[in-house]
Each structure stands twice: as C-alpha cells, then as structure tokens.
Amino acid sequence: MKKAYIYFENGFLLEAQSFGADGTEIGEVVFNTSMSGYQEIITDPSYAGQFVTFTMPEIGIVGTNSKDNERELPHCKGIFVRQYQNFPSNFRAQENLSNFLKQHKIMGICNLDTRGITSMIRDEGSMMAIVSTEISDPKSLQAKLQESLRIEEINYIQQVSIQKEQIHTKGTFCFSQMDFQTPCTNKTVVAIDFGAKDNILNELAQAGLNVIVKPHSFDAQEIITLFQDQKIHGVFLSNGPGDPMILKNEVKEIQKLIQAKIPIFGICLGHQLLSIAHGFPTQKLKFGHHGGNHPVKNLINGKVEITAQNHNYSVTEEILQVAEVTHRNLFDGTIEGVRYKDSPIFSVQYHPEASPGPKDSTELFQRFAQML
C-alpha cells in the first residue's frame, strides 16, 4: 500500500495508507454509521463530492458484486476506514473492494482512527479535506485545498443525472398478473433524476407504476402537457447530491409543476427542492444524517420507523405555513416528512427504499400509487 495524506480544513493532518485509486482529491468529509451495505453507500450518487468515513471498523470482508450497485458508476471522492480486509469471504463476492475502487478511480484510505475523525466531525461539523498519495507537504496540501471550490459551490447534479430520457423496467411486479412484466396499474409517473438510486425506481415499479425517467434539465411544460393529456399521472423527484439552494433552474421548473396541480412525491433532495419551490429555504445541518439506524416517528399513525438517511440539509419549520409535518427525526427533532395542504404533494427526507427496518417505510410508494 502507498502512503496517503489527509489534510482537513481545520489544519489537522493525518498519514495513512491507500488501498484504492492513487492521486489527489478534494471533497467534504462526512461519517456513516451503517453496520453493512458499504457498496450501496459508495455507489449512492448523493455522496458525490464527499469522502465517507465508515464507523464500522472492518470494511471489505464481503467484497463487491455487480448486483449491489445503486448506480452503474460511483461518484463519491473516496472512503475512510479503520481496517481494510483485502480477502472477501462471501459467496456473492466477484472481486475485492480495492479493485472495485481502483477501477472506478475512487480513493480508499485505511489504517485510520475513524472514531477520532467521527468525533471531530461531530464536534466541529462536516468539513472539506484534501487527500493525496502524491503530496505530503502540509503547506502544499493547505494551499491546494484553500484554492479549491467548496462542495456547496459545485453543481454535482449535472454529473450524476442521466442525459437522455429512459424507461425503467426493473422491479418486482404484481404476482396477480399472468405476465410478470405488466405492472399492476396503468398509471405512469415521470421520475426526475437528480441522482436517483436504482432501488427507488425499483420500488416505484414494484408499487405498480410505469416509470419514465427524465434528466435534471427537464422541461416542466412538456410534463404538464403529458399530464393534461392523461399520458402521465404524477411526478417523482429523486434524491441527489450537494446544496439544493444552487439549483435555481430546477426549482423554477418544479414551481410550474406545483402550479399545474400535478401529484408529486419527493425523497431527500426532492423533498428539499419542494420546500424551496414553495418559498422556504433549507438549512445545512452541522454534520448531516448518514446511516441506517435513524428512528423517525410517523405522526400520522404513531409508529416509529428505523430509517436509512443520507443528507446534509434540512427543511426548516417555516414549511408549516403551507404543509403539515408527517414525520420527525427522534434524534434531533428535524422534519423528516411533510404533506402539503393545498396540493396533492408529499415528501420525505429519509430513504424508504433502503430497507434498514427492513420494510418499515416502503408503504410510501404504495401511498403514492394510491394517490394517483
């Protein structure tokens, strides 16, 4: 393994070892508390521009395979782990994690005190860092980091979104149908891809919906015309990376969909963009929510759901002017779900498709289908 150097914007320097791609990368450091599912996390487009610190100390033992990716290409900057296991011991493994990271030019840094990094982020907040297998001089690392753009200044949506319209055909369909490729309903939704996880699209299909996926640069008027002609019946707004406040064009198009009274369901970034489109800005959390063990109370039925989460931004209490809060985080009380008062629109901040419960939250996709 090569030596690797991590310089944080607070001046903290670490020397470690690299088991992933070589080079120099700059990004925001966050921590994830999930006990499993590292391949899903690495390939989640919402981590674009970030280094993920795993609090699980042993990473790599299950290897990687072609079926556990959330997108074909990962977009995170790299991962920080306490101890890397290079020899996978799992019947589904097709290659080790090191080869996977090198193939996709993702950095992997090990032999780190990840407990210490997590404590630092928890106390000081998410922060930018530069990681290099090429530069060891602290002053050179500092200078390169200071001259680089911060994550909130970069539109990563343009990098992770599809470029052309697609039809999503994966997912489990209704077993009552003789033809398993036929969904249980004739309702069609347009899913706007801001960096959608594949399993979200799978869950929409499993709920019995035909799914048309459009890129982030969608034309709202085209969708409104399809809705008025009853060729589509609703819109889904996906998860995605970065600061939602810089997505000015996307917000303008969403506002047109809202004015047209089209039924809309949003998850994560989609949830945040709906708030902004209604005139209420989001706020950045100190260190975000990243993990598979976040308790959320459903205020409609009183149940507590164990949820998977991955976001650095949150909808504020101002949203109560136009929406009813349906879900709250039991860790910090932040808003996790809303239902708008005068529109057929609802959204959640967490990831109901990630199944940490394992099925605590999947009813949201059925709810969307029933609303249509």
* Residue positions annotated with a catalytic role: 268, 351, 353
Cα separation, 302 vs 38, in Å, equals 31
Alpha carbon distances (Å) from 152 to 29, 43, 191, 286: 13, 20, 24, 14
Which residue(s) pair with 3 in the sheet?
17
- How large is the greatest C-alpha to C-alpha distance in the chain, in angstroms? 67
Cα separation, 87 vs 111, in Å, equals 16
SS (H, E, C) 123-143: HHCCEEEEEECCCCCHHHHHH
Beta-carbon contacts of residue 75 (< 8 Å; ≥ 6 apart): 45, 47, 48, 49, 156, 159, 160, 195, 241
Burial category of 146 from C-beta neighbours within 10 Å (exposed 0-12, middle 13-18, buried 19 and up):
exposed
Alpha carbon distances (Å) from 310 to 20, 32, 68, 236, 269: 23, 8, 18, 18, 10
Cα separation, 133 vs 272, in Å, equals 36
DSSP H helical ranges for 229-265: 248-259
